[in-house]
A and B are shown apart, each in its own frame.
Chain A
Amino acid sequence: MIQLKVTNLEKRFGGNHVLKGVNLDVNGPELIGVLGPNGAGKTTLTNILDGAIKPTSGTVYLNGQRIDQLAPYEVARAGLGRTFQVTRSFRRMTVLENLYVPALAMGHMNQGRALTEKAMEVLEFLTIDHLRNEYARALSGGQQKLLELGRLLMLNPDVIILDEPFAGVHPKLMEVIYAYIRRMKAEGKAIILISHQMDAIFALSERLIVLNFGVLIADGAPDAVKNDPAVIEAYLGKDEEDAA
């Protein structure tokens, strides 16, 4: 059973209080949407979960292991994977090599046929198998997003953080990402989805949390959150049309 427990997470950058005591529990397979206006602390939260920055105080436990003081690679090995808001593929490595990195780094596979087959299966699922020997920099922006998602499939973590997976993606490829998220859910993973695209968030997530100025102001079923007065005031009030 996957268990991610975030307790009283605080983060300050100098005088800037970015996260003010965030609590979050993720139990078992779940798809959680994260909403919040710019500067709400979404990226900081992601970076703390990922190990890229250390929290000022508070703890993060993943499956009983404390991960908030670990280095990013240790967090990845503990079972938390993420994508980046701005795509960060290994540009001068081929698509296949991009996929080999996480599988080999985790140590659960060795170079050889099985690895190639697994990678090809992932690429076929993402509909970019024809590009397998191309350098990643030759891919379009959307394809690079898919590649990044593919790397997560190879990493095979328990908890997946998707940071703006739909930004700048061609509608045709959106379908693939939807299918990807559904597949991850079916595989029993906990998915944390951060996106500005309300329609996607409301279509996909079972649970929605809303951050505003570093405070978690709502946590619950999407419909309930949507009608939460605090949320409307803080965030949805401004662009109600988008949310509808």
Chain B
Amino acid sequence: MHPKRNGGPSVQTPEIFWGVILWMTVWGVLGSVLLRRRYFSRDLDTSNVNFAGAMAGAALGPIGVAVLWARTPKLSGRITTFLGLTAVVLIAAAFSFADPENNCVANGAFRASQFTNGLIIGIIYGFMALGLTLIFSILGVVSFAHGEFYMIGGMLVYYITVVWFPGVNPLLGVMGACCLAFCIGALFERAMLTPMYTGKIDRPVEYGILATFGLAFTLQYFVQALHGASPVKVQRYIDFPRWEFPAGAESPLIETRRGNLTLFDTVSISNPRFIAAVTCILVLLALLYLLHRTWTGKALRAVSQDREAAAIAGIDPNRMNMLAFALGGMIAALAGALLVQAFSWLPQVGAIPAMRSFVIVVLGGLGSLPGAFIGGILVGLVEAAGTGCIPDAQKAASYIPAYGMIVLTLTLLLRPTGLFGRRFASGAHGQGG
């Protein structure tokens, strides 16, 4: 999964890198705190100022903080994005000065390939997180069983196409996995989550967390008990045809081999990931159609915005809850079903994707569908940068969960509502004063 590195684990002058990071941190914290006070006392909108202040401090140091302090501009998305990007570029520059021989500094092709692969895997991450955010926006529950749905998705494909009906078309396997996951989700919701809606439970949010936690636990060990702990893998679903564009050129722009797709003769994308990402985009489009063009989808969105009003309008919120939970589970299962051809599969495989999905939905804003998707891509890119650039490859792999956590911590500190989050002033759902 990770390309071999040619350089050893040697950062030449780490002082530069850590010095810059320290400088950025100090000014980021200062900017965030100072500018918040400034905007507050000037009676301006303070919802963005923590983030923008931190980014200004990190990107431009005292100058950025001073300019914002003096002029207190309206913090539009454009300014904050610009500052954020500058900060990222600065980190990258510091890194490349500190370790000029690092593969992801010296090797352009490697960089392009990491970027593309990060983007592609990010699409799949985002798709999976979409299920989690869908469940949250309708039921107000963070499903701790999301990773297990992902796991059973892959497992079911393996069992359907390899064990039970060998030789069956993988498409049927994927669809079967989705259907089964949908049913498990619906059943679980009916059996376990219904008491949440009647107000009989004192702390519904915690109840939901514990109930899905129980489901995760049960599912994981159920699969392990039935299947054992041996890893499985599924053949790739589709072979690319042998194709080149422009045909016959020495270094074609696009070149496909059975298991691989090569762009510009430099960036190589493996077939399973490419297929998975394309399918995710297609299903995403279908989902958007469902949500925006059909009655059921409109009902779902109505319930997510205002339960009572939707109920008055003749929508049964209970049924929407079931649908949302089942759909969310199915989305995770589909992500798993698509990735089982790329990774080897174990009953414990769900833990890291679940954690990643949590990070993504918090980054994108709990309950925001576009946020989940963009958050997924960002996390995919961050992970690609993390795994590609850290000099010690083994450490880099161990720290995969940590990259997401850094993003999560920064989000919670700087902009708890996430990129596209709805504001939950207080109350049961999430953060608040």
Contacts and interface: CB of A to CB of B under 8 A. Distances in A.
B15 interface: no
A137 B202 CA distance: 10
A91 B43 contact: no
Nearest to A54: B40
Interface string B42-69: 0101010000000000000000000000
A65 interface: no
B426 to A, nearest CB: 10
Nearest to A92: B202
B45 A91 contact: no
A14 B433 CA distance: 18
A48 to B, nearest CB: 14
A57 interface: yes
A56 interface: yes
A241 B23 CA distance: 68
Nearest to A12: B43
Nearest to B47: A14
A52 B432 CA distance: 12
Contacts of B45: 14
A56 B46 CA distance: 12
B99 to A, nearest CB: 45
A14 B43 CA distance: 8
A12 B47 CA distance: 13
Interface string B174-210: 0000000000000000000000000000100000000
B253 to A, nearest CB: 49
A137 B43 CA distance: 41
Contacts of B43: 12, 56-57
A137 B203 CA distance: 13
Contacts of A91: 202
A57 B45 CA distance: 14
**B interface, by DSSP: helix, strand, loop or mixed?**
loop
A200 B253 CA distance: 82
Interface in B21-45: 43, 45
Interface in A39-81: 52, 56-57
A203 B202 CA distance: 38
Contacts of A52: 433
Nearest to A91: B202
A75 B45 CA distance: 26
Contacts of B47: 14
Interface in A169-206: none
A91 B45 CA distance: 36
A56 B43 CA distance: 6
Nearest to A57: B43
B384 to A, nearest CB: 38
Contacts of A92: 202
A12 B44 CA distance: 9
A34 to B, nearest CB: 23
Residue in A52, A56, A91 with the greatest tally of chain B CB atoms within 10 Å = A56
A12 B45 CA distance: 9
A101 to B, nearest CB: 18
Nearest to B45: A14
B101 to A, nearest CB: 50
Interface in A6-32: 12, 14
Contacts of A56: 43
A12 B41 CA distance: 12
A57 B433 CA distance: 20
A14 B45 CA distance: 5
Contacts of B433: 52
A14 B47 CA distance: 9
Contacts of A137: 202
Contacts of B202: 91-92, 137
Nearest to A15: B45
Nearest to B426: A52
A147 B433 CA distance: 25
Interface in B393-433: 433
Nearest to B433: A52
A59 to B, nearest CB: 14
B46 to A, nearest CB: 9
B388 to A, nearest CB: 42
Nearest to B46: A14
Interface in A93-134: none
Nearest to B43: A56
A87 to B, nearest CB: 15
Contacts of A12: 43
Nearest to A11: B43
Nearest to A14: B45
Nearest to A52: B433
Interface in B192-232: 202
Nearest to B203: A92
A137 B201 CA distance: 12
A109 to B, nearest CB: 28
Nearest to A137: B202
9 contacts: A12-B43, A14-B45, A14-B47, A52-B433, A56-B43, A57-B43, A91-B202, A92-B202, A137-B202
Given A12-B43, A57-B43, 7 more contacts: A14-B45, A14-B47, A52-B433, A56-B43, A91-B202, A92-B202, A137-B202
Q: Which 9 A-B pairs have the closest CB atoms?
A: A56-B43, A14-B45, A12-B43, A92-B202, A91-B202, A57-B43, A137-B202, A52-B433, A14-B47
